[in-house]
Structure 1
Amino acid sequence: MDGDEPLEPKVIDSMIEETITEHDVAGATVAYVEGDEIVHAEGYGYADYETGESVDPDETSFMIGSVSKLLVWTAVMQGVEDGTLDLDEPVGTYLDAYEFEGDDEVTLAHLATHSGGYDDRFEGIFVQEHSEIDEWEEKLESEMPPQIWEPGETISYSNHGTVLAGLVVQEAYGKPLESHIEDEIFNPLGMDSATFVQPAPEDRTLSKGHVPVDDGFETRDPTIVGIPPAGSVSATGPDMGAFALAKLQDGAVEHDGENVQILEPASVVEMFDQQATNHPGVQGLGYGYMLSEYRGEQLVMHTGGTEYFHTLFVLFPEHDVGLFVSFNSMAPFDDVLDGFIDERFVPAESSIESDPATADRADEYAGEYRMTTFQTTHEKFLGLAQGTVTASVTDDGVLELTSSAGEKTRWVEVEPGVFEPKTDDDASFGQTSVAIEDGYLYMNAPAPPFERLSWYETAGFQVSLAGAVIVTLLSTIVIWPINAYRHRGWGAMRGYLNRPRLAILGCVALLVAFIGGVALNPPFDMASWVYGFSLWQRLTFVLLYVLAIGAVVTVVSVGIEWQRVFVARDLDAGSTSRYGLVYLTTLVMALLVLLWQAWYWNLFTAAF
């Protein structure tokens, strides 16, 4: 290809089929648009592996996840155009029946750039039953995360922020959001299969979700989005192709022989232009859209993921080109997008030489960084397993970033504190620049800032500390019976168990019960964090509260022992020897450290 002509459909087909094969994907749907037409729309593989039903490009809808947010933001911009909404007006102006923290300061412009200041949370985004979304507005009001930043201060991806904007649209127009978007966007553009409704209407064919197994795939019903404006849209490839054309053609398309204008050109420009960023050295956001300058091309895009579907919607405005891809199994987009860019635009490969002077500033950049979201709930605990990045600088001045999963990328400093990928292999379409300043690491929006951790906050130290504390407390199960037998014999065991030791053993029993509860009702699969903990999981974490009460009793009991020592001025004046008193004190300290860790990771919030 010379980069000036549309791709042949067979080229798109080859890229998708290769991804399906390499990543165990059941099915996919694609729309490729260029100029003023859908060049290619195709379906691949299975819509339902169990029945053998194939993906029909014109009939089979896929859940598009967070790409749904673009429909909400398009509706917001329509409201701005007709004077119903104002981007700079506090959202509380439109919400007489609801109250949200900061609604007298947070504007639609803040929400459109994910800078409303709200913390993030997983729990409640997906639900088990369709009945749970009947009153999603009240659900949003009760589950809205608290504000942890001032509005406009920090970009941090917020599902709930977009849902709040959807509620504003609904209240301002006095009709259900799904009906409003159907009337103002879906119907005018001929997006006949697209819907926010869950479950999808009976006249729509919705793909099943799929999980790969040894002999094929298990089929699953599509995930139910508990706060629908965050990601409940299902649509076909041609539906999303029509939406892409409208955005690429200044808000207008030809439909049924008529020119349909869903947005004014100026509104499209506003949505595509950068409106906010966490740092001038990294990519920011337009209104609703993620921005990226990747391999020499300007991308305006959004991704979407539910439990079984994975979606990419990317526009190349400089070329009037767009690509929509959705898989009904989890799979990466990098190979598809890289292949598309290679074939359609023929970008030049790039590599940057490092500056050895960067090594002199290694202390400013090196360290372990953790994302600054999930500060207020037990989901902070996920930062131990994901959400951290370790930065180091090589002797020749290359910044190396290692993710929690062990993936390493290399970056070269192009100006103080601003880095670009050393080679194309070190970048992805969502991560094309990095900045480090004043103890924070910034990536392309809408990723939140990552904060450099103190030594005691690092994952390695926290895990090691927890292990040492638990071993110390459990040592009582071995040490005290042996000690009692050596000094008094089994018959005198009751006399050996004084109040401090009984208090400690009570706490140890609670700790063992907690560990057992976690083992029997594992809370560490993502489903537990998204759908919410079961009753037994929550009861397990209630034990932490009982353990805290036990710790108070233990501290008092051991404190009385020390009081006796101080009064008598004799280390042997307590009910145990001086060595026993030191051991008791060590156990108390271990218990308090363990409770501090539970508090630090917000594990007490997991019970309720």
Structure 2
Amino acid sequence: MTSHRKSLARVLAVGLAILSTGLLVAAQPGWAAPAIPAAQPVAVSAELTTADADAWLDGVLPALLEREEIPGAAVSIVRDGRVLTRRGFGLADTGISGNQPRPVDPERTIFRVGSVSKTVVATAVMQLVQRGQVDLDRPVTDYVNIELPTRFRTPITLRHLLTHTAGFEEVYANMILPAGTPVPALRETVTAAPPDQIYEPGTTPAYSNYSYALAAYVVESVTGREAAEYLQDEVLRAAGMATASFAQPLPERLNADLAQVYPSRHQQPIPFELVGPWPPGSLSASAADMAAFLLAQLNTGGSALLNQQTLALMHSPALGEDRLGGLAAGHRMALGLFEEDRNGRRILGHSGDLIHSHAALQLYPDDATGIFIAVNGSGARADSATVLRRAVLDGFADRYFPAAGPGPSPVGTAADHAQAVAGIYGLSRTPQSTFMRAYSMLASVQISADDAGTLTIPLLTDAGGTPVRLAEVEPWVWQDSEGHHRVAVRVDEAGAVGAIGVSPALVLLPKPAWQVMAAPVVAGSLGVLLFALLAWPVRAIIGWRLKAPLDLPRRDMRLRRITLTAAAVIAVGVTLWAGAVMQMSGGFSAQPGLIRGAQAATALGALGLVPAVWRAMRASRQAHKSRAVLATLVALAFLGFGAVALAGGLLLPDITY
């Protein structure tokens, strides 16, 4: 439901690969936003007018849609309290299913906007703050009659929920529901299987859909109105978003204007994308609707949603150095919005991704400007929609708000600090209490440093997908030469790295050595077991052809057969895990029976350690030392696989995830 870096498809792809071998005013005194280095005031190279914006879009978007094989897109741009342009490009319905082809109409065509929905939820919460009905820093449990799974004494607050710092682990199940599935009530969403808390609130950004579902439930509990009704009346309708809706599926009156959603332009459309954890990702809206929302957020001429003081609070960095430590020197979360500074300009934004629907909005609050884009397909490649969206948003910034001069020079501590940062890390957005913990163990991000103190982080790339080079511009703060990426590092008093901020809602955490070893251990273990399985029939055929059967004592022969059978069972288990991963790859849930079968095969196969060790011990006392070596390798492979399976939670009895 977000493009973070971290989307579910990428997470599951990594898991499959492993198993088979995503400032206006500070909110409180002292919470000023970090300075964005700039040589001088930014100069505008092109005047942002309706004519120029339309000409620019005409020169960019049709070619991008064609190249990336995405059916259609809609864009809204607002400035100084008015809509500069609303444009539609390509097709809302390609006609491939037999319908009449239908072009995108920016006034009428409705797109699914994914996690852009969270900005609406945050706005609703801020309305309650403005009325004095809730306090951002009171425990959430003061407003809802549910128990939350907490591990720390620090209570969870609305500030934590809106900044993705409540400390919840990642949850994958039921992100996208099969067509025709009833969407659960909001209370059921937040109480059925709440995620475990793995970080102390306020300290570790970790993107959380559950947090926003819980925030919406606070709105429902405090107002006494269903969240869907409140959001529709008090935010969408109040802002003038005439066709926007959180309903799933859409009301009949809106269906005719809904954009069909396609994997790519030449494929059949998919059914309406039903989002499980609603309302954080379930909004549908047109470009005209989102233009109205942008204007309400920018508050030029008065906002229909929030007063100027509350908007200033919403748009300010919501957590300071007292909680985030050194991470506060980088980009931070506002209340429901990401800092996305570029070219020395402060930008607040949010992106959203479902299966094949993608959208994003950006606000330039200091320039009374906003832009929104949505597309109705993923395109020819896995990153096509991201490439298109980024080309438009970055191109808009570079055309109308370009950098004025060279960025800051590297500081003298760069080389030493870069070497301290270089290493292997894991994502903070991770599952820990479920069988999906295996992913967090096996997936890693390696940060490298050169002798000049330049860092390379694979998650941070340029428009072409090449990782950017980051120079230290302040102690423990890195930035690329164009100022598009800003990375802050939190260190302890001894200078040891504790967290690296690559996004306002995502940090990298150092991986312990035993987790770093998990991937090579499981890969090596599966490789040895696969070799042993393949060698079994090969040796039998050779022995038959040469009339030289394997000469082993009877007990050793039985132990060998049992061991190899266990290895075959592990292969079955890996195949079943791969099948479960494939089912989850689009955000859908895996069949419980498939997971249970994978667990059973994993457990039974891992028991092959007993006969494998027994045979290795017997072989070590026999004359054929090569057999002893091979038997020992097989025993170690069973040990390695079993250890990773246990540590990764693959055998946990609770299969909610």
Please give the range of the TM-score, normalised by the shorter of the 2 chains.
0.7 to 0.9
Determine if the alignment matches structure 1 residue 210 to structure 2 residue 262.
yes
CA distance in 2, matches of 1:30, 1:305: 16
- Residues 467/545 of structure 1: CA separation in 2 closer, same or farther (3 Å cut): closer
Give the aligned partner of residue 401 of structure 2.
345
Determine if the alignment matches structure 1 residue 138 to structure 2 residue 188.
yes
Deviation at 1:396, TM superposition (A): 3.1
Deviation at 1:509, TM superposition (A): 2.7
Moved more, 312-321 or 510-519: 510-519
Deviation at 1:240, TM superposition (A): 1.0
Q: Is the 8 A contact 1:341 1:347 kept in 2?
A: no
Query: Which of 56, 63, 66 lines up with 2:105 in the alignment?
Result: 56
Moved more, 115-124 or 484-493: 484-493
Q: Is the 8 A contact 1:251 1:264 kept in 2?
A: no
Q: Is the 8 A contact 2:448 2:457 kept in 1?
A: yes
Moved more, 293-302 or 484-493: 484-493
Give the aligned partner of residue 298 of structure 1.
346
Deviation at 1:183, TM superposition (A): 1.4
Q: How does 1:169-318 map to 2 (within 5 A)?
A: 169-204=219-254, 205-212=257-264, 216-249=266-299, 252-253=302-303, 261-276=304-319, 278=324, 279-318=327-366
In the TM superposition, what whole-angstrom CA distance separates every residue of 1:528-573 from its partner, at most 9, and x where no partner exists?
A: 6643346445523431122234445655x569x67xx9xxxx946x
Query: Which of 472, 476, 501 lines up with 1:442 in the alignment?
Result: 501
AA of the residue aligned to 1:603: L
Q: Is the 8 A contact 2:150 2:197 kept in 1?
A: yes
- Partner SS state of residue 39, structure 1: strand
Q: Is the 8 A contact 1:476 1:505 kept in 2?
A: no
Query: Which of 626, 629, 640 lines up with 1:593 in the alignment?
Result: 640
CA distance in 2, matches of 1:366, 1:485: 55
Q: Is the 8 A contact 2:424 2:516 kept in 1?
A: no
Task: Mark the structure with the bigger radius of gyration.
Answer: 1
Deviation at 1:491, TM superposition (A): 10
Q: Is the 8 A contact 1:435 1:443 kept in 2?
A: no
Aligned residues with identical type, % of pairs: 25
AA of the residue aligned to 1:86: D
TM norm structure 2: 0.79
- Residues 310/136 of structure 1: CA separation in 2 closer, same or farther (3 Å cut): same
CA distance in 2, matches of 1:66, 1:606: 32
Deviation at 1:607, TM superposition (A): 8.6
Deviation at 1:587, TM superposition (A): 2.6
Determine if the alignment matches structure 1 residue 413 to structure 2 residue 456.
no
Give the aligned partner of residue 256 of structure 1.
none
Q: Which runs of 5+ in 1 are unaligned?
A: 254-260
In the TM superposition, what whole-angstrom CA distance separates every residue of 1:438-483 from its partner, at most 9, and x where no partner exists?
A: 2333213111333245386168734642444434643662687589
Q: Is the 8 A contact 1:378 1:605 kept in 2?
A: yes
Q: How does 1:500-579 map to 2 (within 5 A)?
A: 500-517=559-576, 521=579, 523-524=581-582, 527=585, 530-533=588-591, 535-536=593-594, 538-552=596-610, 557=614, 571=621
Moved more, 233-242 or 524-533: 524-533
Deviation at 1:367, TM superposition (A): 1.9
Deviation at 1:101, TM superposition (A): 1.1
AA of the residue aligned to 1:447: L
- Residues 571/217 of structure 1: CA separation in 2 closer, same or farther (3 Å cut): closer
Deviation at 1:578, TM superposition (A): 7.4
Give the aligned partner of residue 82 of structure 1.
131
TM norm structure 1: 0.85
Query: Which of 385, 391, 412 lines up with 2:447 in the alignment?
Result: 391
Give the aligned partner of residue 325 of structure 1.
373
Q: Is the 8 A contact 1:528 1:534 kept in 2?
A: no
Q: Is the 8 A contact 1:469 1:593 kept in 2?
A: no
- Residues 86/154 of structure 1: CA separation in 2 closer, same or farther (3 Å cut): same
RMSD: 3.4
Give the aligned partner of residue 65 of structure 1.
114
- Residues 490/41 of structure 1: CA separation in 2 closer, same or farther (3 Å cut): same
Determine if the alignment matches structure 1 residue 34 to structure 2 residue 83.
no
- Residues 149/192 of structure 1: CA separation in 2 closer, same or farther (3 Å cut): same
AA of the residue aligned to 2:355: E
Q: Is the 8 A contact 2:140 2:157 kept in 1?
A: yes
Determine if the alignment matches structure 1 residue 92 to structure 2 residue 141.
yes
Moved more, 263-272 or 274-283: 274-283
Q: How does 1:361-400 map to 2 (within 5 A)?
A: 361-376=417-432, 377-382=434-439, 388-400=444-456
AA of the residue aligned to 1:274: P
In the TM superposition, what whole-angstrom CA distance separates every residue of 1:268-317 from its partner, at most 9, and x where no partner exists?
A: 11111001264133111111111122111100111111111111110001
CA distance in 1, matches of 2:355, 2:652: 24
Q: Is the 8 A contact 2:261 2:269 kept in 1?
A: yes
In the TM superposition, what whole-angstrom CA distance separates every residue of 1:500-523 from its partner, at most 9, and x where no partner exists?
A: 33441331231232345457x373
CA distance in 2, matches of 1:600, 1:43: 50
CA distance in 2, matches of 1:356, 1:458: 34
Deviation at 1:4, TM superposition (A): 5.5
Q: Which has the higher strand share?
A: 1
- Partner SS state of residue 56, structure 1: coil
Give the aligned partner of residue 258 of structure 1.
none
Q: Which runs of 5+ in 2 are unaligned?
A: 1-43, 379-384
Give the aligned partner of residue 257 of structure 1.
none
Give the aligned partner of residue 495 of structure 1.
554
CA distance in 1, matches of 2:194, 2:425: 26
Deviation at 1:159, TM superposition (A): 0.6
Which structure has the higher relative contact order (CA within 8 Å, separation 6+)? 2
- Partner SS state of residue 72, structure 1: helix
AA of the residue aligned to 1:408: P
Deviation at 1:413, TM superposition (A): 1.0
Query: Which of 602, 605, 608 lines up with 2:649 in the alignment?
Result: 602
Moved more, 17-26 or 402-411: 402-411
- Residues 388/222 of structure 1: CA separation in 2 closer, same or farther (3 Å cut): farther
- Residues 132/553 of structure 1: CA separation in 2 closer, same or farther (3 Å cut): farther
Q: Is the 8 A contact 1:116 1:150 kept in 2?
A: yes
AA of the residue aligned to 2:241: M
CA distance in 2, matches of 1:13, 1:523: 40
AA of the residue aligned to 2:520: F
Q: Is the 8 A contact 1:413 1:420 kept in 2?
A: yes
- Partner SS state of residue 85, structure 2: strand
CA distance in 1, matches of 2:542, 2:63: 66
CA distance in 1, matches of 2:654, 2:572: 15
- Residues 380/349 of structure 1: CA separation in 2 closer, same or farther (3 Å cut): farther
- Partner SS state of residue 263, structure 2: strand
Q: Is the 8 A contact 1:523 1:537 kept in 2?
A: no
CA distance in 2, matches of 1:251, 1:71: 20
Q: Is the 8 A contact 2:213 2:279 kept in 1?
A: yes
Q: Is the 8 A contact 2:244 2:286 kept in 1?
A: yes
- Residues 606/353 of structure 1: CA separation in 2 closer, same or farther (3 Å cut): farther
Query: Which of 160, 180, 185 lines up with 1:110 in the alignment?
Result: 160
Q: Is the 8 A contact 1:33 1:39 kept in 2?
A: yes
Moved more, 118-127 or 308-317: 118-127
